[in-house]
Structure formats: C-alpha cells, structure tokens
C-alpha cells in the first residue's frame, strides 16, 4: 500500500461513483454543518449588537429571529424548487445563468466563491478562538491549530465525500441533540413557571446590564444584519445535488428540509429562551465574556457534565463547519469550470472521485487568510453574509424568470413566492452592505466584481481557443517530410544518436554547428566528408553541414535565427529541430549538464510557429 493510498484511500473507479453517493444521514453533516453551526453565532451576533440597549434590547430578539426564520423559509422554498428544477446541481449559479444571463450567473458564482472561502477561515478560527478562550495556554499556537484543522479537513475531504460525511456525523448529531435537549428542557421550565423560569445558574450580567442607548430602528437593522449570518450555508445542498444517492433530487430535498427545519427550531428556541431568561450578551474580548449559548445552557441545566458536553460539541461543530464549504466549493467550481468560466482542471475528478483541485485551492485561499489574520478572523465576519445573500437574491430572481417561462402547475404561486424572496433577500443584501460597509463589507464589494471580471476573461479566452481549434473533416493528404535541423556542438554518441534519428524521419537533414572561434577550436570543424561517407554507405542522401559563426559566444540565439530563417525560406515545409539531450536521472547530476536543449525549446515555443516542431532525443547516462 502506497503512502497516497494510506492517506487518501485507494483510487476509486468511475463506475464506483454510485456507491460513493451519500444519503440523508451523511448529507446533514456534510452539507448542513455550516447552516446548523450558524445557530451558534447568528443569535449571538444579533444579541451582541443589542448590548447597548440592555435588557430592553433582549426583548427584540424574538421578532428579529422570527423575521430571520421567515427569510429562511423563503430561501428554503426557493432552493427546494431549484433542486427539483436543476438536478445536476449548481444552485444559484445555474439558476441565475440559465434564467438571467451570463453576468448574473457569474456574479452569483463569484459571490458564493468568496462566501465559501470566508466560511472556512471564519469557521475554523471561531472554533479555535472558543477553544483558546477556554484553554488560554494555547494562545500562542492559534495559527498552528487553525492550520492543523484545515489540513485535517483537506485530507478527509480528499478521501471522498462519503468519508467526510461519515467522519462528521457524530459531532453533528451530538451538537443537535444537546441543543434540542437544552431547548426542550428550557421550554418545559418556562411553561411550568408561567413564562418566568428560574435560572439554575443566573446569567452573569443580566442584573448589572443597563441601557446606554435607546432602541432605535438603526440598532434593530444592524442587529438584523448580524443575525442574518445564521442563514449562510443554506445554499450548500443545492450546489451538491450530484453528491446525493439516487433519486438525487429527492434525497437532496429531504436533506435540505431536515437541515432547515432543525435550524429554524434552534433559532426559534434560542430566541424564546434568551428572552425568558433575560440573557444579555457579554462583549466579546472582555474578561467576563461568555457565549450566549453557554449562558443559556448554564441557566437551563446548570454547570454539570451536560453543560461541558454541550459547550464542547458547540466548539467542535464550529471548527468543523468549514467542512460544508469543502463539500460545496469544489462542486461549484466544477460546474462553473464546465461552463468555461474557470480553468478546466477544476472539473477533473481525482482518485477518490472528488474535485481535488477545488479542495486544494480552497485550502490554499483559506490558509492564506488564516495566516494573514493570525487565526483571528473576527474582522472577516462583516464580509461574511453579503456573498451568501447576493447569491440568494440572484437565485430567487432567476426562479421568477424560470416560472414565467415554464408556467407549470401553480406557477403563479411559485412566481409570487420567489418574487417576495428576491425582494426580501435583495433588501437584506443592501441592509447588510450598508450596516457593515465601513467595517469591511467594502472589501467584498470590491472582490466580487474583480472575480467576475476574471471569470469573464477566462470564458472569452476559452471561446477564442474553441473557435481557433474547431475540427474539420480529417485530411491526411499533401504530406511532405519535414526538414530536420540537428544542432551539434561536437561528435559523441549523444549527437550521433540524434543524427541517426533525424535520418529516419526525413531525407532532408541539416546539421547546424555554432562556431565560436577561441582557443579550444580555432578553425571551423569539417564533418562533411564523414557524414557524406556514412550516408553513401547507408544509401541515403547526405546530411548538409551548416556552420554559423557566433563571435559573441551565444548559442541559443544563432540556432533560433537559423531556424526562423529556414522557416521563412521554406513556407510550405515543417521544420523539425532534433535536439540531442543528455538526461540525468539523478538530481545531483542535473547541474552537470548544460541545458541548452531546454533553453532552445523554450525559445522556439515563444518565437516559433505551428510549423516548428521540437524533437527531444534523450540519451541516458548509465549509472
């Protein structure tokens, strides 16, 4: 078993694709980790923005969360329909480009690409941040831990989508189970106490909190924008339909339904309980900081072993939430690459049937972000939701056009629904953009258009290439043997081998010698008689010897000039440059050979035409 087999698993044949597909149980952790984990930071983000309003602000968390859940329902409906309409996957990109045109489609793709990369960096660093605040001794190793988790995610995902799903099943279900238990028990206590439950461990700052600011519309808008991060990740399933077991659309829809239902329950439950227990967020970074979910769990269940299991599962799921991006990003890039907007290698499946290049590119980009920000990506969070909501908006708008064109059963109702969705998510984009513009959202507003521009350029170049190489019926007539040019510095077995090969190809062989008068070889060599004699014995036309003087001791330039002139003088012929090359099989010997052959080849590629062909005749030194 090779190391690659051990690390990534044995190669999978293309026909094994079916067995690699995932069902609902693996689908929820694979594509749902991101969406579900956002229950841990979405409400927290909204509540943090409400801190200045004190306990009075907490009351607003319920209507805010309900608005967000409503938005979630609209987005869900849209993606549910998208999956049915576009079973090959691609989500927003496919919907937008098929219905709205090339530019909106590419914009959706660019928005999602940015979102996925941020997702990985923010997810990992949020998890590690929570871990480090629990174990301060690890502070100095933040970046290393982040990169370690990134590497583990990369390797697991390179092992295939099924392995990733299975690997992350346990933490996902532990997280969901714990939170549902907390919510269930909390609601029971609330109902039993007539709406005023007694906290087992009182939230620390609930009594001390005092309002420093009145609740304004602007404050609520900002809190809403913060809470909207809870919706990121919902689009992942629609990008990965092709990863699901047949019937793929149905399996994907069911998975999406379960993810969204769970998310809605978590968001609603957290909102109601936070208000009932009067939990005010603590400022992040302050000495007495505790996460909202930790305070809530402590208030409902106390600080027993269950508290610690719950908090641990939250940390784990946060840092693994990046996995959703690893499932979605490569598939998105593959579909975009098949559309011609990204280099084709994004669409090549690796040994385990996943799109390796996409995974590796995601790792590199996220790794650069993590290193650049020292593993503290707080500042990236403002950039976060814009990409997702821009993609949502374009997808909804695309579906509106889709229904108008298709007019299936209930198309009026569907069109209305998506229209409302498009307007709602569009407004959200604007709200988030305005609310967070100076905090960093402007970066996203710059990066997305830049990506779009790049992708359009890639597409244009592919189209140009496509036109340039369009096949015609195959013709093999009017063939003429090429003129072979053999550059030779001196006679040995290497050059003889090359000359012999040139003579097998064509009767028109020219040996070129670049002569530089110096002490070693003052006069031009005279190889013509020997070549003529050997050719006469073999009964073939004699190779012609051309000697080019090079007073400045340049070698590549004169050969290049010779070839270009020959090409010019023989407009209907192909020129084959036969380059003798000594090949070093050991790297230490690489430096001992001259690399004129390589340099000549590179220059010919730059300056030559399609009629110039380079032939490497290798000679292997026996060890």
Alpha-carbon distance values, 598 to 548, 563, 617 (Å): 20, 16, 12
418-457 positions binding its own copies, by CB under 8 A:
457
> Which of 181, 215, 420, 531: binder of its own copies (CB under 8 A)?
531
Beta partners for 486? Answer: 511
325-354 positions binding its own copies, by CB under 8 A:
343-345, 348-351
Q: Are 494 and 531 in contact (CB under 8 A)?
A: no
Position 468 contacts its own copies (CB under 8 A): yes
Stretch that binds its own copies, among 12-20, 94-102, 411-419, 443-451 (CB under 8 A): 12-20
Q: Minimal distance in Å, beta carbon 548 to its own copies?
A: 14
SS (H, E, C) 431-451: HHHHHHHHHHHHHHHHHHHHH
Q: Minimal distance in Å, beta carbon 351 to its own copies?
A: 6
Q: Minimal distance in Å, beta carbon 562 to its own copies?
A: 18
Three-class SS state of 512: strand
Closest CA relative to residue 78, chosen from 452, 431, 429, 423: 423
Q: Minimal distance in Å, beta carbon 455 to its own copies?
A: 12
> Which of 134, 191, 211, 538: binder of its own copies (CB under 8 A)?
538
Residue with the two structure tokens 């005279």: 526
Q: Minimal distance in Å, beta carbon 347 to its own copies?
A: 10
Spatial separation of the C-alpha atoms in residues 365 and 118, rounded to whole Å: 9
Q: Are 343 and 335 in contact (CB under 8 A)?
A: no
Instruction: Let me know if 156 is exposed, middle or buried by CB neighbors in 10 A (0-12, 13-18, 19+).
Output: buried
Stretch that binds its own copies, among 71-79, 246-254, 377-385, 513-521 (CB under 8 A): 513-521
> Which of 43, 171, 487, 608: binder of its own copies (CB under 8 A)?
608
In terms of CB distance, is 220 or 248 closer to its own copies? Answer: 248
Q: Are 58 and 280 in contact (CB under 8 A)?
A: yes
Alpha-carbon distance values, 529 to 522, 532, 533, 572 (Å): 20, 5, 6, 30
Q: Minimal distance in Å, beta carbon 345 to its own copies?
A: 6
> Which of 302, 453, 481, 524: binder of its own copies (CB under 8 A)?
481
Radius of gyration of the chain (CA): 33
In terms of CB distance, is 157 or 301 closer to its own copies? Answer: 157
> Which of 292, 503, 512, 560: binder of its own copies (CB under 8 A)?
503
> Which of 139, 478, 572, 603: binder of its own copies (CB under 8 A)?
478
356-385 positions binding its own copies, by CB under 8 A:
none
Spatial separation of the C-alpha atoms in residues 505 and 616, rounded to whole Å: 13
Q: Are strands 483-487 and 509-515 parallel, antiparallel or unpaired?
A: parallel
Closest CA relative to residue 158, chosen from 322, 359, 400: 359
Position 1 contacts its own copies (CB under 8 A): no
Position 407 contacts its own copies (CB under 8 A): no
Position 598 contacts its own copies (CB under 8 A): no
Residue with the two structure tokens 């399933």: 237
263-322 positions binding its own copies, by CB under 8 A:
none
Q: Are strands 575-583 and 483-487 parallel, antiparallel or unpaired?
A: parallel
Position 568 contacts its own copies (CB under 8 A): no
Position 613 contacts its own copies (CB under 8 A): yes
Position 212 contacts its own copies (CB under 8 A): no
CB atoms within 10 A of CB 594: 12
Q: Minimal distance in Å, beta carbon 495 to its own copies?
A: 8
Q: Minimal distance in Å, beta carbon 30 to its own copies?
A: 22
Residue with the two structure tokens 């100076």: 438
In terms of CB distance, is 470 or 568 closer to its own copies? Answer: 470
> Which of 551, 571, 572, 587: binder of its own copies (CB under 8 A)?
551
Spatial separation of the C-alpha atoms in residues 470 and 461, rounded to whole Å: 14
Position 528 contacts its own copies (CB under 8 A): no
The alpha-helical segments, DSSP class H, found in 9-101 are 17-20, 24-50, 54-58, 61-85, 91-99
In terms of CB distance, is 205 or 239 closer to its own copies? Answer: 239
Q: Are 591 and 469 in contact (CB under 8 A)?
A: no
Alpha-carbon distance values, 359 to 163, 224, 456 (Å): 15, 33, 22
Q: Minimal distance in Å, beta carbon 451 to its own copies?
A: 15
CB atoms within 10 A of CB 432: 27
> Which of 140, 469, 526, 569: binder of its own copies (CB under 8 A)?
469
In terms of CB distance, is 193 or 594 closer to its own copies? Answer: 594
Position 540 contacts its own copies (CB under 8 A): yes
Position 217 contacts its own copies (CB under 8 A): no
- The dihedral sign for the CA sequence 92, 93, 96, 99: negative
Stretch that binds its own copies, among 19-27, 171-179, 373-381, 585-593 (CB under 8 A): 585-593
Position 475 contacts its own copies (CB under 8 A): yes
Tokens at 137, concatenated = 């001794």
> Which of 193, 207, 524, 594: binder of its own copies (CB under 8 A)?
594
């Amino acid at each position: 078993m090779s190391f690659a087999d051990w690390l990534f698993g044995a190669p999978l044949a293309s026909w094994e694709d079916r067995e690699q597909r995932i069902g609902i149980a693996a689908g929820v952790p694979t594509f749902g980790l991101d969406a579900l984990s956002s229950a841990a930071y979405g409400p927290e983000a909204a509540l943090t923005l409400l801190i200045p309003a004190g306990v009075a602000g907490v009351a607003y968390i319920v209507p805010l969360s309900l608005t967000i859940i409503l938005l979630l329902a609209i987005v869900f409906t849209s993606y549910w329909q998208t999956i049915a309409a576009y079973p090959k996957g691609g989500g927003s990109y496919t919907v937008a480009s098929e219905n709205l045109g090339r530019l909106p489609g590419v914009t959706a793709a660019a928005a999602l690409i940015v979102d996925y990369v941020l997702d990985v960096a923010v997810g990992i660093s949020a998890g590690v941040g929570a871990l480090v605040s629990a174990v301060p001794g690890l502070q100095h190793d933040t970046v290393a831990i982040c990169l370690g988790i990134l590497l583990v995610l990369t390797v697991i995902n390179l092992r295939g989508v099924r392995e990733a799903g299975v690997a992350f099943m346990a933490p996902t279900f532990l997280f969901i189970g714990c939170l549902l238990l907390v919510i269930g028990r909390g609601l029971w206590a609330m109902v039993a106490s007539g709406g005023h439950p007694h906290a087992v461990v009182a939230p620390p700052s609930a009594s001390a909190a005092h309002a420093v600011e009145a609740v304004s519309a602007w404050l609520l808008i900002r809190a809403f924008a913060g809470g909207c991060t809870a919706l990121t990740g919902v689009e992942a399933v629609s990008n990965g339909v092709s990863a699901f077991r047949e019937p793929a659309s149905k399996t994907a829809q069911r998975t999406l339904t379960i993810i969204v239902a769970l998310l809605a329950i978590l968001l609603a439950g957290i909102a109601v309980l936070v208000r009932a227990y009067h939990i005010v967020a603590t400022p992040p970074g302050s000495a007495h900081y505790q996460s909202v979910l930790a305070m809530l769990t402590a208030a409902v269940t106390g600080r027993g072993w269950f508290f610690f299991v719950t908090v641990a599962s939250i940390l784990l799921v946060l840092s693994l939430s990046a996995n959703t991006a690893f499932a979605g990003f490569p598939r998105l890039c593959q579909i975009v690459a098949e559309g011609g907007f990204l280099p084709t290698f994004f669409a090549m499946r690796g040994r385990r049937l996943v799109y390796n290049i996409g995974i590796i590119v995601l790792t590199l980009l996220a790794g650069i972000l993590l290193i650049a920000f020292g593993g503290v990506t707080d500042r990236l969070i403002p950039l976060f939701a814009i990409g997702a909501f821009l993609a949502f908006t374009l997808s909804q708008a695309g579906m509106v056009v889709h229904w108008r064109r298709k007019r299936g059963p209930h198309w009026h109702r569907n069109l209305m629904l998506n229209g409302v969705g498009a307007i709602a998510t569009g407004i959200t984009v604007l709200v988030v953009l305005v609310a967070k513009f100076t905090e960093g959202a402007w970066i996203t507003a710059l990066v997305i258009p830049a990506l779009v521009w790049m992708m359009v350029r890639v597409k244009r170049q592919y189209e140009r290439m496509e036109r340039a190489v369009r096949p015609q019926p195959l013709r093999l007539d009017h063939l003429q043997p090429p003129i072979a040019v053999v550059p030779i510095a001196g006679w040995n077995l290497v050059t003889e081998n090359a000359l012999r090969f040139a003579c097998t190809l064509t009767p028109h062989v020219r040996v070129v010698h670049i002569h530089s008068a110096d002490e070693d070889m003052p006069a031009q060599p005279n190889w013509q008689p020997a070549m003529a004699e050997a050719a006469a014995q073999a009964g073939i036309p004699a190779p012609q010897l051309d000697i080019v003087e090079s007073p400045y001791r340049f070698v590549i330039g004169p050969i290049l000039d010779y070839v270009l002139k020959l090409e010019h003088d023989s407009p209907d012929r192909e020129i084959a440059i036969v380059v003798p090359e000594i090949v070093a099989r050991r790297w230490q010997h690489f430096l001992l050979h001259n690399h004129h052959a390589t340099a000549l080849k590179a220059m010919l590629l730059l300056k030559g035409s399609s009629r110039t062909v380079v032939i490497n005749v290798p000679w292997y030194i026996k060890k």
